[in-house]
Amino acid sequence: MERLTKAAVATGGAAVLLLGGAGTVAYWTAQGTASEDALSSGTFDLADGTCGGWTYLDDGEDGGEPVTAVVPGDSVTTTCTFEVTATGDHVGIGAVTVTDPQWTAENGLATQLGDAEVVSTTLDGVPFTGPVSAATGNEVDVRLAVTFDGPGATNESQGLTAALDTISVTLEQAPVPGPAAP
């Protein structure tokens, strides 16, 4: 029995050594890093525009004809064109805001002109309904109308001049959806 006992003790000790040694086995590890190309943002800008000559508003008998000299009650219009610079995958125009024009006046005709009203806004000749995709080279046309209706339209308002000095147009960028995923 002593021999059997010794064998059992030896077997148990070997098992304990094997089990105890299992925790000391080393495993390999590996580590890697990844990088990607730089991420760049797009652009969104509106170049200073130019305005065409004044014409009579389309609703009169002289509608669309060039203006030589306004008289009280005349409504006239001009179109100002601005070029968009836009880059980006989903860049679009969400809104167009136009401020009242500033006039360079000689002898005060500017005080005789009513507030300018935006008659229409188009993007590349298509009426702007927003949001629409935008890209470099798109043209925004803002058509303004103004009426010679100042409160002092008396004989003293004859022979006056005014020139459109500035009109500010602001585009608000808005995302437009990209193509649907397959």
pLDDT tens digits, residue range 50-101? 999 999 987 666 678 898 888 888 889 999 999 999 988 888 899 888 887 7
C-beta separation of 117 from 101 below 8 A: no
- Residue 14's pLDDT is 54
For residue 41, is pLDDT > 70? Answer: yes
- Residue 179's pLDDT is 63
Q: What is the mean pLDDT of the chain?
A: 80
Of 33-37, 42-46, 98-102, 117-121, the one with minimum mean pLDDT is 98-102
Q: Rounded to whole angstroms, how far apart are CA atoms 57 and 77?
A: 6
For residue 25, is pLDDT > 60? Answer: yes
pLDDT tens, 138-159?
999 999 888 887 666 777 778 8
- Residue 47's pLDDT is 93
Task: Report percent pLDDT > 90 for the chain.
Answer: 23
C-beta separation of 113 from 148 below 8 A: yes
Beta bridge partners of 92: 133, 174
Using omega within 30 degrees of 0 as the cis cutoff, is the peptide bond preceding 151 cis? no
C-beta separation of 115 from 149 below 8 A: no
Could you name the CATH architecture of 43-175? Sandwich (2.60)
